Chains A and B, each alone.
Chain A
């Protein structure tokens, strides 16, 4: 448990502004591409999937 906590603390310390920036831009582009595209996942017919893909 201590090791996990230490690793988590190290991970949090290493997070910098540009990492957050990369995450936010990636998230924006993922939402953008999900909203703009319309491919149909054949395996998803009748099942629940995000935005029908």
Chain B
């Protein structure tokens, strides 16, 4: 849920930008949105739904994650004409690269995790296994991670209410969505738009 605020901040920034320029703000027109719904289902089954996530073996869960992310990448590339989508796609490709290179899950090193959780909790986790059944992360020794610079390695600042570990790809993904909602060519002339839509109030 950590990345979700990027959507709301983008909506807020887009609306605020339209107010500043006295233009009507419209949401970007996403093509093939059904692809998102279709390709999110494997992740939902593997990581979220308690009934089904216990049924997936480790290799099958990894395959589902990769399949899901490839599908989402396809969606982002089909919408590459929109502002921010190239940055989003780059983030997704980086995440996908490190996930595929490390057995189908996002690697996090024992060293990184040791900065955030008690030693007793860390000791209870198994190196080479997923952090939990609902996690995309796999715990690995620092020297065992391929493309370690792309792995979950950055730690949220201590003053931030949520403690989490994120990757370069995650940053680009959040940035891409924020830019999409804020700077896509979605501002239209207010008077012209109102005449065409026959409405008296600005959109949103």
A residues at B contact (CB < 8 Å): 16, 18-19, 21-22, 24-26, 28-53
Task: State which of A33, A40, A42, A43 has its C-beta within 8 Å of the C-beta of B177.
Answer: A33
Task: Say if the beta carbon of B132 comes within 8 Å of chain A.
Answer: yes
B residues at A contact (CB < 8 Å): 1-4, 6-8, 10-11, 26-28, 30, 33, 36-37, 39-40, 43-44, 47-48, 50, 68-69, 72-73, 75-76, 88, 91-92, 95, 99, 106, 108, 113, 116-117, 121, 125, 131-132, 134-137, 152, 162-167, 169-170, 173-174, 177, 180-181, 199, 203-204
Query: Known contacts being A33-B3, A50-B48, is A26 close to B11, with CB within 8 Å?
Result: yes
Question: Which chain B residue lies CB-closest to A16?
Answer: B199
Query: Known contacts being A36-B92, A40-B164, A45-B121, is A52 close to B136, with CB within 8 Å?
Result: yes
Contact B173 A40 (CB under 8 A): no
Contact B69 A18 (CB under 8 A): no
Contact A40 B135 (CB under 8 A): yes
Contact A40 B152 (CB under 8 A): yes
